[in-house]
Structures are given as structure tokens and as C-alpha cells.
Amino acid sequence: MSPVPAVVIAAPASGSGKTTVSTGLIGALRTAGHRVAPFKVGPDYIDPGYHAVAAGVVGRNLDPNLVGTDVVAPLFAAGTAGADIAVVEGVMGLFDGRILPDDADGGPSGFGSTAHVAQLIGAPVVLVVDAAGHSQSLAALLQGFVGYDPSIHVAGVVLNRVGSDRHETVLRQACARAGLPVFGVLRRDPHLQVPSRHLGLIPAAERRDDAVRAVAAMATTVGAALDLPAIVAAARSRGQGPVDAWSAADAVATGGSGSGSGGSGARRPIVAVAGGAAFTFGYAEHSELLTAAGADVVGFDPLNDPLPPGTDAVVVGGGFPEEHAEVLSANEPLRTGLAAHARAGRPILAECAGLLYLATELDGHPMAGVLDVVGRFGPTLTLGYRDGVAVADSVAFVAGERVTGHEFHRSTVEAGGEITPAWAWRDHQGSAGTHGFVQASVHASYLHVHPAGHPAAVTRFVSAARRAAEVTGSGRDEAAERTG
């Protein structure tokens, strides 16, 4: 079977308009009758939300740092099932990636960069250039990007924020000198901007109807400005051969640990996964792995819902609880229910926003009180990949297990007493430290870990949920008794 056509939307630098072009292109291709598979390079959770609105299917991430190079192409193959074209939005500049300790010069392209992922999936690149400050010298810039790494196929250019007809003419001449076709021209249009705040774009799940309208506007404008047939033709030049698609079931079977599905006679534990406007950060593969490991996954919104009946384990991922602290605090049934859940020894896995929600308070608002920590929103951004080592055994990880995760937050937490840390790592200055918390059945930290890179952690978590249900009595049975 031939590989699904794909194109990678990249740029010389951040802020060039990749998200607008990518989201608009996804929507325009869908309007034209294509079944589009959307992807985002790197750990970012927000852009895939807009991709999902545009494509009508879930947006997925491709990040060698979080899952390993061998898993990227299989994840891509899995995500393109049923699609006839894929659009991959890059991260930062085309060659900007992580410089590993044993590769001080970063190599021709940084690890996990857009170029690196384009290589791994064999897809051509379309370069989005913020043309606002460019004229003839654009030719030199483009020639540099084309020649920097010959293994990367730059198929063409999208000129963004072009000022006038004369400006467009000069820029097209520069692209011709560089030997690159122009796939489209977007004029300066402030209406295409997506609102931002302290951690970047506001997630689509928080904007809802506004997000749908914004994506529709992007699709209309980008669809009219870009040469869609030319981009589809470029996507069909993808050079990678067939790759076995990633499977959650296979990942659990070959990379998992613990009891897995638990056998035909084992009851499937219920794992409640937080969602809604306050908890929008999560990878699609997480629920798929939980299901493959033997759990029944149930979503709930901490802004409005109680803990789902029969819950055996809880996952509270990332998001923006600081934007919703008052409403989260007002949902007292969930706060008390989650605290009782933890006291009963049932597992909780919390990342970043989830950590803040488990605190006693966040910016003065009472939270679940599962952990004796206080959360505060602050002015300093903590951002970057972390190579962590598990300090202690927990419901998801074993002591000594190594992971690469990602931090992205402006908040801090202060512990009120002694709690076992979850992770140890060295910062960029080489200083060692411990991070996060392990307490009985709770694992909570700021570190985002991609489950597809660590399927064993998922099966351990599901196994812990099953054991807790057997030892303490199922929450499902307790709910039945209360209503019976």
C-alpha cells in the first residue's frame, strides 16, 4: 500500500504564521473533499486542538524527544488511517531542535526539530515566510534553507503578511531566484490572529464557538490564497515506504508491564480522565493505551461534574486551572470525592495542571487537598525538555526508570511537609534537583510524559486501579449500594 501523501508546514522562525497556514490548509483541504490527518511536531497540546476543529478528527503529536525516533513514523502511520492526505505543523524554525549533551553542535538539524520529523516520515516541507520585512534578500534566506541540509526537500513557499501588489512581485522574483515555487500569498490580516495569553494560544476547547468561527475564517482565507492542487501534488512526492502502524494493543503487549488486560475473567477498572475547558492538555494515545491495557475510560469535566460513579483511578492532565480556579473550587462534590478516592488508596496520575488541582489551594482558592502543597501562579515561565529519573516506585513508574518529559508552566508549588519526590533531574546549568510528589497511590508532577513513549507506565497504572478495586472494594459497587 502506498504511503499517505503528506506535507510539513515549517518556517524560518517562530511567529511566521505556521499555525494559521496549517489550520487553514487543513480546513480548506477538508472543504475540498479530502480526509485530512492533522499532526503537530513537538509537545504542544494547543495547536492540535485547532487542527482537530479544522479536520474533524483528533490532532496528534510527533515528538522524537518524548517517544523516541523509532516510534514517530509508526505513530504517523496510525494517525493517517482512513486519511488521503496529512498536514504536519512544525515547531519553531525548521532546524530548531534540542541540542543533546553528546552533540554540542546540534548536527545539521536539532534533535526533534521539524526537519528531523520530516526526515523520519519522508515528507516534503512547505516554508511559511513572514514577508513583512523582506524584499530581494529573501532569495538568500531561502537558498540558505534549501542548501543547509540537502536531505530535507523544501517543495515551495507560502508568503505571509505581504503588504502590497508591488511587494508581492518583488517577493515572487526572490523565490524564483531561489528556485522555489510560491504556493500562495497571504496579505496582512489582523482578523486571522488567534487570541493568546501567558502560555500561548487560548485552547480551542475554551473558545468553543469562537474557535469554530476562527478556524472557518482561516480555512476560507487560506483556501482562497493557496494553490491547493500544487500542495497536494507536493504531498504526493512523499518518499517513505510502508511502515507498520503503531498500535496501542501491540504497545501494551510488547512494551507494557503488569497484568495488562487482566485476562478474560478480570473486571475492567474504570479510569476517569479529566477534560473540559480547564484540562485541555492530553495526548490521544493515552486513552487508547488505557483501553488496550484493560480499562474503561470515562471522561469528566472538573468544572461541573462529580467523580464518575464507580471510578477506580483518575487521570488529571495539563491545562489552565489558574484561569478557572474559582469555578473549580466551587465544585465541592468533586473536590471531596477526589480526596476520598485518594484516602481509599485508589490511583491518581496528575500532570502540571493536575498537580495544582490536587493541592490544598491555588491562588487562595481551595482545591482537592489530596497533597499538602500550595499552588501559586507566577511571572516566570518554566519551559523545556527534562531527562528525569523516577525517585520511587509509584502507581505508574518504578524507581530508577528514565523518561524524557516536558515542562510548560508559570506556576509554582510549595510543599507543607515531607513528601517523596517523583523525579530527579539536572537543569540546564547542571544543578541536580527533585521534582513532583509520590504519596501512596498518587503520582503528581509538572512533567508531561507521552504515554506512547512509556506504555509500561500505563499498564502499571491500570493494574494498580484493578488491585485497588479488589482490595478496597469497587467504587462501582459502592455506587450501586448507595442507589440500591
pLDDT tens per residue across span 129-182? 999 999 999 999 999 999 999 999 999 999 999 999 999 999 999 999 999 999
CA distance 180 to 158: 10
pTM: predicted TM-score of the whole model, two decimal places: 0.93
User: How do residues 337-350 score in pLDDT, each as one tens digit?
Assistant: 999 999 999 999 99
How many Cβ atoms sit within 10 Å of the Cβ of residue 239? Answer: 10
| 285: pLDDT strictly greater than 90 | yes
Q: What rounded mean pLDDT belongs to the chain?
A: 91
Q: What is the mean pLDDT of residues 45-56?
A: 93
Please tell me the distance from the alpha carbon of residue 46 to that of residue 283, in angstroms, as a whole number: 11
Average pLDDT rounded to a whole number, residues 281-303: 97
- pLDDT surpassing 50 at residue 484: no
Residue 479 reports pLDDT greater than 50: no
Cα–Cα distance between 382 and 446 in angstroms, integer? 10
Which is the CATH superfamily of the domain at 6-235? Answer: P-loop containing nucleotide triphosphate hydrolases (3.40.50.300)
- Band of the pLDDT at 48, cuts 50, 70, 90? very high
What is residue 331's three-state secondary structure?
A: coil
Backbone φ/ψ region at 133: left (φ over 0), alpha (ψ -120 to 50), beta: alpha
Q: Is 352 a catalytic residue?
A: yes
Residue-wise pLDDT for 436-476, tens only, equals 999 999 999 999 999 999 999 999 999 999 998 887 554 44
Q: Does position 260 have pLDDT exceeding 60, yes or no?
A: no
Superfamily of domain 248-483: Class I glutamine amidotransferase (GATase) domain (3.40.50.880)
CA atoms of 148 and 151, how far apart (whole Å): 9
Pinpoint the residues of the chain covered by CATH 3.40.50.300: 6-235
pLDDT, average across residues 289-294: 97
Nearest-Å Rg of the Cα atoms of the chain is 23
Q: What is the arithmetic mean of pLDDT over 62-85? A: 97
Q: What is the pLDDT of residue 101?
A: 65
> What is the rounded distance in angstroms from the CA atom of residue 283 to the CA atom of residue 304?
22
Tell me the pairing of strands 196-197 and 85-89: unpaired
Query: Confidence band (pLDDT; 50, 70, 90) for 104?
Result: low
In the predicted structure, residue 265 carries a pLDDT above the cut 60: no
User: Choosing from 26, 352, 396, 422, which is the catalytic residue?
Assistant: 352
Q: Where in the chain is the domain with CATH 3.40.50.880?
A: 248-483
- CA distances (Å), origin 448, targets 210, 245, 293, 301, 406: 28, 24, 20, 20, 5
